[in-house]
């Protein structure tokens, strides 16, 4: 994920910026760049690839040390990794900036600016906000920022240089994090504490729509109207390891908390005038129209995301979808051929069975769409069509944010496919897309509201030897992932069953006190799931129910209920997965396990 840094002070600015950027490498990036003031000019240098490339280029070009500047590591979302698309971006005569996050309405803004005669050199949303800010700038940075922020939508943080205000950095954020560090006369900006912890542990947390002005020996904060704001100075008490986890105890918890941003980055750039548009991934309405059937092939969590995709695509687009475990698919002579779409979902893009399934499908004449998180990975390279998920690097072995963005892509695809097939009209497609666009804020709320109760629920589970997850429809697909999450990091045996299937054998496992986790978020299936819950309860099960807050649940139904707000029902897996992830996380913590590196597991499974 992109990282921002900035420095004003007596030291060699270029060196401080590169060193600070190196502390953000763990976030993942594909290019880097810096901009520094020197003698009234702003010098910009950028390079695709590792930071070392940037350093070599700086040395070869004798890049100035600079007196103040900004730097950036880019994780490509809009446009491929390249020198041109790297930050900083130049907006015109005055503005040079770096950006983290997403400008959702960048295409509309670009059209407007082009109509005003502004020309664009990159494919990025960042250049659009740089050009817009430059366009709005009439000598007063605060007014220009205010005007610009009134026009842009999305979640972002910006570090800005104005050419006529030397040695000063302006910073503003909406959604994406940004901190302002301070040490004596020096000032810093950064996306994350690790970037500056080598220099200072004292920092301010910039809040939504606050502007910071960083000059040597002075840091001031205002709102968008220029009214001064008093801020509390914080002191990081982290070591480097904790700092890289953003202050969270484990990467898994950090990554659960990164889900809203990951969804935003994955969805927003692909919405144009309210409609989903995967055209940049070579997926057009024209080529979707003729698809006869879909195969979704993946492993583990990615396969569970495919299950959600199956329910969504079949419900909306009425196209048959088979979900396959990649290690089975590749050896079972699959009935795949021309006119079929095979979707390979993979976080790492290197899973051996998924990669082989891709090759088998292509050999049989099917078109393959990769849904991949790791840029430039084998599955990404070999797919006919490619949708990158923008979760950023996922370090915990237990996948959380990668799953969340995989299902977000499945929804986008189901909307677009349904529209292409004439199964839904433009109004409905826009309505569903707007619901999806609203999910990041909702997910953030649910993380907050279910954290404590999920912790409590975990306390009731940790002594269990075995437990069951049950659900119907989307809730079944989701429960499969909940069950995997729990077993892989807590080491408690668990199975997931379609709630209606219990009576066909599994219910004989229920003994007094056995935990059952039931998920019920779909109104058409709610009563049926409740009946299944009653059946296990009558046999002694201790039931944890995760359900929509609009449903009435009798007192005798569950021992504990975790409620999540009800949204568009087909999107409920994005809401209900959160407490399931948290229950698994806290179960692992309470059992004293190595949460991020569970035994016997590897993050990327490159052997079959
Ligand atoms: O990298 P991939 O998405 O292809 O990996 C597939 C599975 O190994 C992976 O989803 C695994 O099940 C998760 N790490 C479990 O949390």
What would the pLDDT profile of 557-587 be if each residue is shown by its tens digit?
Answer: 999 999 999 999 999 999 999 999 999 999 9
pLDDT confidence of residue 602: 79
pLDDT confidence of residue 193: 82
| DSSP one-letter string for 506-521 | GGGG--TT-EEEEEE-
Q: Answer yes or no: is the C-beta of 300 below 6 A from any ligand 1 atom.
A: yes
Q: Span 410-418, mean pLDDT?
A: 96
Question: Residue 262 C-alpha to ligand 1 middle, in angstroms?
Answer: 17
Q: What is the pTM of this model?
A: 0.77
Q: Answer yes or no: is the C-beta of 489 below 6 A from any ligand 1 atom.
A: no
Atom 8 of ligand 1, nearest CA residue? 300
pLDDT confidence of residue 40: 85
Q: Answer yes or no: is the C-beta of 347 below 6 A from any ligand 1 atom.
A: yes
Among 199-203, 285-289, 459-463, name the one with the lowest average pLDDT.
285-289
Question: Residue 602 C-alpha to ligand 1 middle, in angstroms?
Answer: 9
Question: Residue 487 C-alpha to ligand 1 middle, in angstroms?
Answer: 14
Query: CA torsion sign, 336 to 338 to 341 to 343?
Result: positive
Q: Answer yes or no: is the C-beta of 399 below 6 A from any ligand 1 atom.
A: yes
Q: Is 581 helix (H, G, I), strand (E, B) or coil?
A: helix
Cis peptide before 570 (omega within 30 of 0): no
Return mean pLDDT, the chain: 93
Assign 131 a pLDDT band (cuts: 50, 70, 90). Answer: very high
Of 246-250, 319-323, 351-355, which one has max mean pLDDT? 319-323
Q: Span 36-41, mean pLDDT?
A: 92
Between 246 and 463, residue with greater pLDDT: 463
Q: Span 383-411, mean pLDDT?
A: 94
Q: Is-contact 590 462, C-beta < 8 A?
A: yes
Q: Answer yes or no: is the C-beta of 595 below 6 A from any ligand 1 atom.
A: no
Whether residue 286 has pLDDT greater than 90: no
Question: Residue 402 C-alpha to ligand 1 middle, in angstroms?
Answer: 9
pLDDT confidence of residue 140: 97
Among 48-62, 226-240, 347-361, name the one with the lowest average pLDDT.
226-240
pLDDT confidence of residue 464: 96
pLDDT confidence of residue 25: 80
pLDDT confidence of residue 79: 83
**H-type alpha helices, 221-331:** 240-244, 251-257, 259-267, 285-289, 300-317, 326-329
Buried b (16+ CB within 10 A) or exposed e, 248-287: eebbbbbbbbbbbbbbbbbbbbbbeeeebbbebbebeeee
Whether residue 599 has pLDDT greater than 90: no
Q: Is-contact 469 494, C-beta < 8 A?
A: yes
CA distances for 350 relative to 28, 208, 334, 344, 374, angstroms: 17, 38, 21, 11, 9
Query: Any long-range contacts for 227-232 (C-beta under 8 Å, 24+ apart)?
Result: 231/204, 231/205, 232/204
**Which of 250, 252, 299 to mutate for ligand 1's pocket (most ligand atoms within 8 Å of CB)?**
299
Whether residue 242 has pLDDT greater than 80: no
CA distances for 257 relative to 237, 494, 544, angstroms: 20, 25, 23
Q: Span 390-402, mean pLDDT?
A: 92
Q: Is-contact 155 176, C-beta < 8 A?
A: yes
Q: Answer yes or no: is the C-beta of 348 below 6 A from any ligand 1 atom.
A: yes
pLDDT confidence of residue 546: 97
Q: Answer yes or no: is the C-beta of 354 below 6 A from any ligand 1 atom.
A: yes
Q: Which residues are annotated as catalytic?
A: 2, 603
Q: What is the CA radius of gyration of the chain?
A: 25
pLDDT confidence of residue 106: 92
The two three-digit tokens of residue 397, written as one number: 């072995």
Question: Residue 398 C-alpha to ligand 1 middle, in angstroms?
Answer: 8
pLDDT confidence of residue 239: 67
pLDDT confidence of residue 495: 95
Q: Span 209-222, mean pLDDT?
A: 96
Atom 12 of ligand 1, nearest CA residue? 300
Element (H, E) at 275: strand 275-276
Question: Residue 106 C-alpha to ligand 1 middle, in angstroms?
Answer: 33
Q: Answer yes or no: is the C-beta of 406 below 6 A from any ligand 1 atom.
A: no
Among 14-28, 127-141, 517-531, name the one with the lowest average pLDDT.
14-28
Contacts of 197 (CB under 8 A, 6+ apart): 23, 236, 238, 240, 243
Q: Span 443-447, mean pLDDT?
A: 98
pLDDT confidence of residue 238: 66
Q: Span 196-219, mean pLDDT?
A: 93
CA distances for 576 relative to 237, 245, 443, 547, 548, angstroms: 34, 25, 9, 8, 8
Atom 10 of ligand 1, nearest CA residue? 301
Q: Span 273-289, mean pLDDT?
A: 83
């Amino acid at each position: 994920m992109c990282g921002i840094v900035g420095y004003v002070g007596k030291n060699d600015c270029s060196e401080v910026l590169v060193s600070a950027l190196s502390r953000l490498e763990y976030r993942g990036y594909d290019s880097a760049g810096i901009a520094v003031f020197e003698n009234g000019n702003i010098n910009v240098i950028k390079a695709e690839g590792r930071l070392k490339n940037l350093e070599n280029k700086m040395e070869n070009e004798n890049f100035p040390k600079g007196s103040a500047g900004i730097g950036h590591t880019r994780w490509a979302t809009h446009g491929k990794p390249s020198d041109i698309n790297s930050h900083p971006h130049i907006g015109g005569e005055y503005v040079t900036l770096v950006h983290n996050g997403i400008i959702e309405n960048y295409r509309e803004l670009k059209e407007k600016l082009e109509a005003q005669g502004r020309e664009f050199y990159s494919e990025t949303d960042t250049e659009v906000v740089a050009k817009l800010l430059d366009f709005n700038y009439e000598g007063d940075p605060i007014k220009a920022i205010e005007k610009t922020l009134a026009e842009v939508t999305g979640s972002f943080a910006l570090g800005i240089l104005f050419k006529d205000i030397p040695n000063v950095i302006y910073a503003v954020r909406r959604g994406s994090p940004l901190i302002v560090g301070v040490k004596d006369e020096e000032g810093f900006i950064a996306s994350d504490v690790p970037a500056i912890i080598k220099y200072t542990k004292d920092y301010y947390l910039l809040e939504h729509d606050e502007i910071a002005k960083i000059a040597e020996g002075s840091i001031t904060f205002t709102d968008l109207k220029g009214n001064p704001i008093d801020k509390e100075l914080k002191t990081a008490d982290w070591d480097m390891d904790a700092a890289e986890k953003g202050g969270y105890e484990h990467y898994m918890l950090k990554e659960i908390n990164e889900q809203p941003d990951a969804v935003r980055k994955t969805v927003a750039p692909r919405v144009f005038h309210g409609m989903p548009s995967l055209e940049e991934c070579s997926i057009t309405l024209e080529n979707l129209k003729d698809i006869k059937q879909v195969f979704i092939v993946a492993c583990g969590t990615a396969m569970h995301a495919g299950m959600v995709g199956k329910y969504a695509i079949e419900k909306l687009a009425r196209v048959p979808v088979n979900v396959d475990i990649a290690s089975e698919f590749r050896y079972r002579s699959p009935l795949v051929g021309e006119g079929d779409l095979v979707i390979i979902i993979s976080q790492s893009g290197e899973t051996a069975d998924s990669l082989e399934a891709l090759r088998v499908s292509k050999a049989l004449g099917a078109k393959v769409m990769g849904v991949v998180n790791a840029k430039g990975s084998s599955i990404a390279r070999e797919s006919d069509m490619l949708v990158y998920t923008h979760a950023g690097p996922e370090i915990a072995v237990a996948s959380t944010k990668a799953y969340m963005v995989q299902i977000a892509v499945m929804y986008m695809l189901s909307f677009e496919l349904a529209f292409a097939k004439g199964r839904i009209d433009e109004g409905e497609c826009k309505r569903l897309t707007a619901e999806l666009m609203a999910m990041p804020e909702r997910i953030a709320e649910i993380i907050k509201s279910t954290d404590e109760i999920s912790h409590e629920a975990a306390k009731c589970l940790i002594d269990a030897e075995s437990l069951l997850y049950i659900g119907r429809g989307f809730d079944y697909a989701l429960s499969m992932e909940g069950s995997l999450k729990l077993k892989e990091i807590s080491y408690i045996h668990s199975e997931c069953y379609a709630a209606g299937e219990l009576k066909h054998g599994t219910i004989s496992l229920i003994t007094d006190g056995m935990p059952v986790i039931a998920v019920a978020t779909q109104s058409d299936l709610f009563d049926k799931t409740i009946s299944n819950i009653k059946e296990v309860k009558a046999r002694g099960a201790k039931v944890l129910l995760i359900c929509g807050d609009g449903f009435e649940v009798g007192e005798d139904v569950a021992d504990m209920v975790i409620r999540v707000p009800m949204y568009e029902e087909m999107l409920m897996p994005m809401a209900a997965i959160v407490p399931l992830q948290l229950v698994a996380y806290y179960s692992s913590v309470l059992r004293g396990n190595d949460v991020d590196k569970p035994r016997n597991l590897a993050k990327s499974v490159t052997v079959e």
